[in-house]
Amino acid sequence: MILALETSCDDTCAAVVTADGVIRSNVISSQGVHDRYGGVVPEIASRHHLELIGAVARDALATAAVTLADLELIAVTCGPGLVAALLVGVATAKALAAAHEKPLAAVDHLHGHVAASFLAPEQFEPPFVCLLASGGHTLLARVRDKGPGYEVLGQTLDDAAGEAFDKGARLLGLGYPGGAALERLARDGDPEAFEFPTAAGLRGLDFSFAGLKTALLYRIRDLGEVDAERLRADLAASYQRAIVEALALRVERTLEQTGIDRLALGGGVAANGPLRERIARLGVTLDFPPPKLCTDNAAMIASAARYVPAVPFPNYLDLDVYASGEGALQAV
């Protein structure tokens, strides 16, 4: 039995998962206080994590009907993410583990998103290609085994796909985070109404979304306030289509180049319905974890923890967090 904590951004999460990947509890407390700022404010996120983490962890244990003493392992996200936010999870995990002299596993957030595919009941076996598209990251990886050593084949050169959704949503007057709201608005719109760039000319497997957001900004300006308001749903649908096509195009290229015919989706953007429909038409063997396991959660962190070395008590007391990719190996 593994207890995992995840506090890398603005969701305070705790979950209990068994060694064979069965979710016993998966508690997610979304802070919902960053909307008014149009993005996550790290210091506010951190303070909220501090207030919530105890209750969320207790809830995860109670729902799973286990006590701390029953746990074999405590796992926590060490990065990448907001440092002040990560520190709350890591300090809490260290305290819980040390108090019971349990081992601790340091998990990389992106490995966690990949490992959502290894959870029961539909555990997806490597090798496969994984498209990971979240608010902070967008990458394509070749997953050969269940450990953190997946190979990154392509990534975004500027904004993440979720960021593109969020920035587009903001331009269309929707709240933050805006991906799901933009998807809802787009349901009433025509995806062919406007042409937005998909960076198709960018060779290779890398993504670029910065031009897309600028194109939307100019389009709204050109239309003027009244028409932009009248055509909001069309703008949303066309904008969403451009993101979906940009993602699908790189996925197609990756499958072709690697010769792999198994594909998993991960990250918050993988909750997007039109993306799922578009990817489903590729005709390969697919794993779409349920939306609740695509957006940030601690069950995926517990899942990943099964495939990283467990650090015995008390060797983890100086474990540190990291804001971006490079720290991953140092932290473990």
Query: Contact residues for ligand KG4 (CB under 6 A)?
Result: 9, 134-136, 162, 165-166, 177-180, 183, 267-269, 271-272, 295-296
User: Any idea of the CA torsion for 129, 133, 137, 142, to the nearest 10 degrees?
Assistant: 0
Closer by beta carbon to ligand KG4, 79 or else 154? 79
Packing angle, helices 273-280 and 232-258, rounded to 10: 40
| Nearest in space to 127 (alpha carbons), one of 113, 138, 141, 139 | 141
Closer by beta carbon to ligand KG4, 96 or else 130? 130
Among Zn ion, ligand KG4, none, partner that 272 touches (CB below 5 to 8 angstroms by kind): ligand KG4
Closer by beta carbon to Zn ion, 7 or else 134? 134
Among ligand KG4, Zn ion, none, partner that 6 touches (CB below 5 to 8 angstroms by kind): none
Judged by phi (left if over 0) then psi (alpha if -120 to 50, else beta), residue 286 lies in: beta
- The minimum distance between CB 203 and ligand KG4, in angstroms, equals 26
Structure tokens at 12: 């305070």
Closer by beta carbon to ligand KG4, 162 or else 189? 162
Closer by beta carbon to Zn ion, 114 or else 220? 114
- The minimum distance between CB 119 and Zn ion, in angstroms, equals 15
Among ligand KG4, Zn ion, none, partner that 156 touches (CB below 5 to 8 angstroms by kind): none
Please provide the DSSP assignment of 195-250 as one string.
Answer: -----TTS-TT-B--HHHHHHHHHHHHHHHHHHHHHTHHHHHHHHHHHHHHHHHHH
- The minimum distance between CB 82 and ligand KG4, in angstroms, equals 10
Closer by beta carbon to ligand KG4, 126 or else 267? 267
Among ligand KG4, Zn ion, none, partner that 80 touches (CB below 5 to 8 angstroms by kind): none
Judge whether 7 and 89 are in contact, CB under 8 Å.
yes
- The minimum distance between CB 169 and ligand KG4, in angstroms, equals 7
Judge whether 45 and 286 are in contact, CB under 8 Å.
no
Closer by beta carbon to ligand KG4, 61 or else 87? 87
Among Zn ion, ligand KG4, none, partner that 287 touches (CB below 5 to 8 angstroms by kind): none
Structure tokens at 271: 């909750």
Amino acid, single-letter form, for residue 296:
D
- The minimum distance between CB 209 and ligand KG4, in angstroms, equals 11
Structure tokens at 73: 């392992």
Among ligand KG4, Zn ion, none, partner that 289 touches (CB below 5 to 8 angstroms by kind): none
- The minimum distance between CB 176 and ligand KG4, in angstroms, equals 8
User: Any idea of the CA torsion for 113, 82, 18, 68, to the nearest 10 degrees?
Assistant: 180
Among Zn ion, ligand KG4, none, partner that 177 touches (CB below 5 to 8 angstroms by kind): ligand KG4
- The minimum distance between CB 223 and ligand KG4, in angstroms, equals 23
263/141 Cα distance (integer angstroms)? 10
- The minimum distance between CB 100 and ligand KG4, in angstroms, equals 29
| E strand spans, the chain | 2-6, 11-17, 23-30, 73-79, 104-108, 128-133, 138-143, 151-155, 262-266, 285-287
Per-residue x/- marks for Zn ion, 251-290, CB under 5 A? ----------------------------------------
- 296 touches Zn ion (CB under 5 A): yes
Judge whether 77 and 112 are in contact, CB under 8 Å.
yes
Structure tokens at 276: 């799922």
Judge whether 66 and 17 are in contact, CB under 8 Å.
no
Per-residue x/- marks for Zn ion, 116-135, CB under 5 A? ------------------x-
Chain residues binding Zn ion by CB under 5 A are 134, 296
